Amino acid sequence: MRVLFVGDVFGDPGLRAVAMHLPDLRPHYDLVIVNGENAHHGKGLSRPAYKKLREAGADLITLGNHAWDHKDIYDLIQTEPIIRALNYPPGTPGKGYWVLEAQGERLLVMQVMGQVDMGLNLYDPFRTTEALLAEVPHDYALLEVHAEATSEKYALGHYLGGKVSALLGTHTHVQTADAGFLANGTAVQCDVGMTGPIHSIIGGEIESFLGRFITQRPTPFKAASGRAMFCATELVLEGGRCVQIRPMRWDEPE
Amino acid sequence: MRVLFVGDVFGDPGLRAVAMHLPDLRPHYDLVIVNGENAHHGKGLSRPAYKKLREAGADLITLGNHAWDHKDIYDLIQTEPIIRALNYPPGTPGKGYWVLEAQGERLLVMQVMGQVDMGLNLYDPFRTTEALLAEVPHDYALLEVHAEATSEKYALGHYLGGKVSALLGTHTHVQTADAGFLANGTAVQCDVGMTGPIHSIIGGEIESFLGRFITQRPTPFKAASGRAMFCATELVLEGGRCVQIRPMRWDEPE
Amino acid sequence: MRVLFVGDVFGDPGLRAVAMHLPDLRPHYDLVIVNGENAHHGKGLSRPAYKKLREAGADLITLGNHAWDHKDIYDLIQTEPIIRALNYPPGTPGKGYWVLEAQGERLLVMQVMGQVDMGLNLYDPFRTTEALLAEVPHDYALLEVHAEATSEKYALGHYLGGKVSALLGTHTHVQTADAGFLANGTAVQCDVGMTGPIHSIIGGEIESFLGRFITQRPTPFKAASGRAMFCATELVLEGGRCVQIRPMRWDEPE
Amino acid sequence: MRVLFVGDVFGDPGLRAVAMHLPDLRPHYDLVIVNGENAHHGKGLSRPAYKKLREAGADLITLGNHAWDHKDIYDLIQTEPIIRALNYPPGTPGKGYWVLEAQGERLLVMQVMGQVDMGLNLYDPFRTTEALLAEVPHDYALLEVHAEATSEKYALGHYLGGKVSALLGTHTHVQTADAGFLANGTAVQCDVGMTGPIHSIIGGEIESFLGRFITQRPTPFKAASGRAMFCATELVLEGGRCVQIRPMRWDEPE
Ligand SMILES: [Fe+2]
Ligand SMILES: [Fe+2]
Ligand SMILES: [Fe+2]
Ligand SMILES: [Fe+2]
Ligand SMILES: [Fe+2]
Ligand SMILES: [Fe+2]
Ligand SMILES: [Fe+2]
Ligand SMILES: [Fe+2]
């Protein structure tokens, strides 16, 4: 089973890059999963953004800490193939996992949010993930860890002891160069990277984002515009495990 | 001018990797700078660790949030080519920058620590760096940003408007795949990555590090052992700017 | 010199309590200082709120982390007796201190914001305050510390070595019972308390504020309504120091 | 039922104050509960400190974020009437609640730790407390909230909707002046205050504690010495609810 995971799609540049590049890649994969937490102008997922991601070939959309920024999500998440983090408290709308199927095999896709430096107090991602893995039948499992700290991402990979085929980090918006395998067999990459505007501060417009740092006063958030990069990671799942993990980056032509 | 920057050297595996690999690389560079904040069993820099790094070819050692973990540093930092972050308060031992020379040109090396999620309240890294750049004569400037947040690293790169030749991040211990150039000409890489034990949680021994996450009780810190990776980034400085940035990783043979 | 300091005025209930109670107290004091950071529906200071506070008898209004929540402030702070924290970066609108006069003596009023757990990276409150005290001529000095951590408030009081007549904390919205004197002579109270709605979560409407904790999703902020408490602290300054510190609380009648 | 709750006993001065003052108070109460998280030189609970607290009249000792600082606790907590926070993860040694009896009635005593700004990622204190209240039979319930944020303490009090007779905060080491009743009938005080050295920074020795703020480098922690204050809160439980909450402070004579 060949799976493509596309990192945090950010604003119109990100949506444009997905529309341009994903259709070319789509035929080479059985399943395509896209993180869409920043698709609506950098903040959350809206219905038009959702439609664009699906039309470009996404089978499942994942969210993150920006999940609830745009109110459309409260409808979309009831009916569409969209997941938010699994470790939100009881009563949270939507689901924290989804089972996709390809070639007669089931891929369990889960997202958890980290607890370190995320400004949120979500439930224990370690035991929550472990419990779900025991509960939901699957042939392969992919865990997206939407988190800040590299230590927490690696800790989860080691904790789960090979029970997930692959662990892919998101949220920092910077692709990491560590794609590889843990000793327990789990494929890991700390961050898939962003699919969004290159000339930006992690997607945000430079002047307004700088304002936050420089003034320490509230500044309006703006998504940057301009050429986009497309960051994604390919996973090949075979014989009960991930046998290949390959990050990729494509830049919109000038 | 060819410069090699070696990322956070972690414990004995990191020192061993430096001793094995750096002498091979050394002849190809004019200057070698090494982050040594984790060289002493993962915590700070000791005299023996310092000697090993220097003997392997380091011209300058940089520190980080672990700067003060080992008490040897209070002597070493008075006399040796070692820098701690520039944005510590007045009265802090040691210096926050160093001017190295090669081929008749001066490279100003500075380190700042980020303010976001570092558990410290250091001085403003933006204006502190800007002021130093105006004050210390140099031909090239290299800014090491020891920080957690990718946004803060990029924000600094944009804020400084091309006045630094290169900005290299450290601290997350995971090499990033974003090496490139900002629109203002500054070469950037979010994190150079760690030089330390591969089978670990960012250098720490897996069981003890997992304990922190799983128990939320204090657990003794242990450095991991075993095969090391060596992460570094090459910079070529020419004609007043950085013209090449190239990350590298070498793994100790099994 | 008799000074009254009124704690964080919160929303309409707070403004109402000030309007009802402050005029009765006003004749007994030479100077009245009011923290107004939450006066505009719990978020910032607006022109109408400012007018109400002044008409009720305030000589000087102080702000806090909510300083910039309402855009009126950007005009008001240019011309009116209003201060924001002293330890904002250079270029911040407004002033961080004000010199009031009464009975031929000058009271220097300063506000600093804490660095611990405030979600901001302001400048060093210790050295910033110390420098200002050396620079601005005064007979008495009152330092408002707008901060979360009790340790930081006490640390400032000890650090300043008796150079401030009184240190009053604000921001937690809960009056503390520790009013007294440090060994160095400075009068201290960790928090003056809120002037705002009693039936609330530190001023906020209960249901919406609970939502943040329970759902970990964004929830609209609402100020509570209903009966208000009025929290303030009286300082008597004589012979070069504070000789009396007396907290008070008045509750709006049912 | 008359209950006395003694706030965070800090180091030898705190133990001394308890030994001097608690025996006088003891006969007036049915039950005495003491927070001992700082009893061993400011850090955790040791066997000798435990014995002193018990000999002075404590029926139950509670802990906090310093629970695990002294290794004695791992033995003591197995057999003695000591509780740590209820919302530690599964597998944590000890218990998070205790049922005391007096006058034929059962008082359920629980401790939870806050999630805001505590530097820990414990389980949801809201639902954890709610579930325990439903599970453990009791006539009265006392909830100690060991937490930093005033908002979280009040939020818990409102969330539990009168199911706890009283909620007493600890951890900030500063007694608050807000003792009273929520609309739902629960008696509340944001912080009981510390029983420890007066001339200190929340118990810590002034010079060393200041060092942390001023240098931003690690500084050895020292407990302060000298005269102690004794902070406690009296609760009268009758007819199914708390009918009186009365904070007190006693200072060691000079
Ligand atoms: Fe994102
Ligand atoms: Fe995110
Ligand atoms: Fe490091
Ligand atoms: Fe570091
Ligand atoms: Fe505030
Ligand atoms: Fe406030
Ligand atoms: Fe304590
Ligand atoms: Fe505590």
The pLDDT tens digits of the residues spanning A4-55 come to 999 999 999 999 999 999 999 999 999 999 999 999 999 999 999 999 999 9
Question: Which one of C40, C66, C70, C138 is the catalytic residue?
Answer: C66
For residue A91, the one-letter residue type is G
- What domain range is B64 assigned to? 2-251
| Token digits of residue A123 | 């439930």
State the pairing for strand pair A31-35/C105-113: unpaired
Distance from CA of B100 to the nearest CA of C (A): 31
Give me the pLDDT at residue D117, please.
Answer: 97
Distance from CA of A115 to the nearest CA of D (A): 7
CA of C94 to the centre of ligand 8 (A): 37
Give me the pLDDT at residue D232, please.
Answer: 99
For residue A45, the one-letter residue type is L
Give me the pLDDT at residue C50, please.
Answer: 98
pLDDT tens digits, residue range C49-108? 999 999 999 999 999 999 999 999 999 999 999 999 999 999 999 999 999 999 999 999
pLDDT tens digits, residue range A152-191? 999 999 999 999 999 999 999 999 999 999 999 999 999 9
CA of A61 to the centre of ligand 1 (A): 13
Chain C residue with CA closest to A74: the answer is C217
Q: How confident is the model at residue D249 (pLDDT cuts 50, 70, 90)?
A: very high
Give me the pLDDT at residue B138, please.
Answer: 98
pLDDT tens digits, residue range C166-214? 999 999 999 999 999 999 999 999 999 999 999 999 999 999 999 999 9
pLDDT tens digits, residue range B142-199? 999 999 999 999 999 999 999 999 999 999 999 999 999 999 999 999 999 999 999 9
CA of C66 to the centre of ligand 5 (A): 6
Q: Please list every residue in chain D whose beta carbon sits closer than 8 Å to the beta carbon of residue B68.
A: 217-218
For chain B, what is the mean pLDDT?
98
Query: What is the pTM assigned to this prediction?
Result: 0.98
Give me the pLDDT at residue C20, please.
Answer: 98
pLDDT tens digits, residue range C133-158? 999 999 999 999 999 999 999 999 99
Q: Which residues on neighbouring strands pair with residue A138, listed in sequence order?
A: none
Subunits close to C (at least 3 CB pairs below 8 A): A, B, D
CB-based contact D89 B216, cutoff 8 Å? yes
State the pairing for strand pair A97-102/A140-146: unpaired
Give me the pLDDT at residue A15, please.
Answer: 98
Question: Which one of D21, D40, D41, D66 is the catalytic residue?
Answer: D66
Under a CB-based contact definition with an 8 Å cutoff, are residues A177 and A144 in contact? no
Give the ligand whose atoms come closest to the C-alpha of residue C202.
6
Say if residue D205 carries a ligand binding annotation.
no
Number of CB pairs < 8 Å for A and D?
16
Instruction: Check residue B69 and report its DSSP letter.
Output: S
Burial D71-97 (b: 16+ CB within 10 A, else e): ebbeebbeebbbbbbbbbbeebbbebb
Nearest neighbour of D68 by CB, restricted to B89, B120, B218: B218
For residue A75, count other CB atoms closer than 10 A to its CB. 11
Give the ligand whose atoms come closest to the C-alpha of residue B196.
3
Say if residue A28 carries a ligand binding annotation.
no
Under a CB-based contact definition with an 8 Å cutoff, are residues D146 and D111 in contact? yes
Nearest neighbour of A68 by CB, restricted to C120, C121, C218: C218
CA of D42 to the centre of ligand 5 (A): 29
Nearest neighbour of A206 by CB, restricted to B158, B172, B210: B158
Residue C165 CA to residue C145 CA, distance in Å, equals 13
Residues in chain B: 254
- What ipTM does this complex have? 0.97
For chain D, what is the mean pLDDT?
98
Total domains present in chain B: 1
Residue A109 CA to residue C205 CA, distance in Å, equals 38
Full pLDDT tens readout for chain B, 254 residues = 999 999 999 999 999 999 999 999 999 999 999 999 999 999 999 999 999 999 999 999 999 999 999 999 999 999 999 999 999 999 999 999 999 999 999 999 999 999 999 999 999 999 999 999 999 999 999 999 999 999 999 999 999 999 999 999 999 999 999 999 999 999 999 999 999 999 999 999 999 999 999 999 999 999 999 999 999 999 999 999 999 999 999 999 98
| Token digits of residue D56 | 């002075």
Chain A residue with CA closest to D115: the answer is A121
Q: Please list every residue in chain C whose beta carbon sits closer than 8 Å to the beta carbon of residue A68.
A: 217-218
pLDDT tens digits, residue range A123-133? 999 999 999 99
Distance from CA of B197 to the nearest CA of D (A): 26
Distance from CA of D110 to the nearest CA of A (A): 21
Q: At B181, which CATH number?
A: 3.60.21.10
Question: Which one of B21, B66, B70, B138 is the catalytic residue?
Answer: B66
Give me the pLDDT at residue B110, please.
Answer: 98
Give me the pLDDT at residue B10, please.
Answer: 98
Say if residue A38 carries a ligand binding annotation.
yes
CA of A115 to the centre of ligand 4 (A): 19
**pLDDT cut 90: percent of chain A above it:** 100
Q: Please list every residue in chain A whose beta carbon sits closer than 8 Å to the beta carbon of residue C218.
A: 68-69
Chain C residue with CA closest to B118: the answer is C121
Residue B58 CA to residue B230 CA, distance in Å, equals 14
Phi, psi of D250 (to 5 degrees): -130, 135
State the pairing for strand pair D228-238/D2-6: antiparallel
- For the question of residue A158 being annotated catalytic, the response is no
Nearest neighbour of A89 by CB, restricted to D89, D116, D124: D124
Conformational region of residue D133, where left means phi above 0, alpha means psi within -120 to 50, and beta covers everything else: alpha
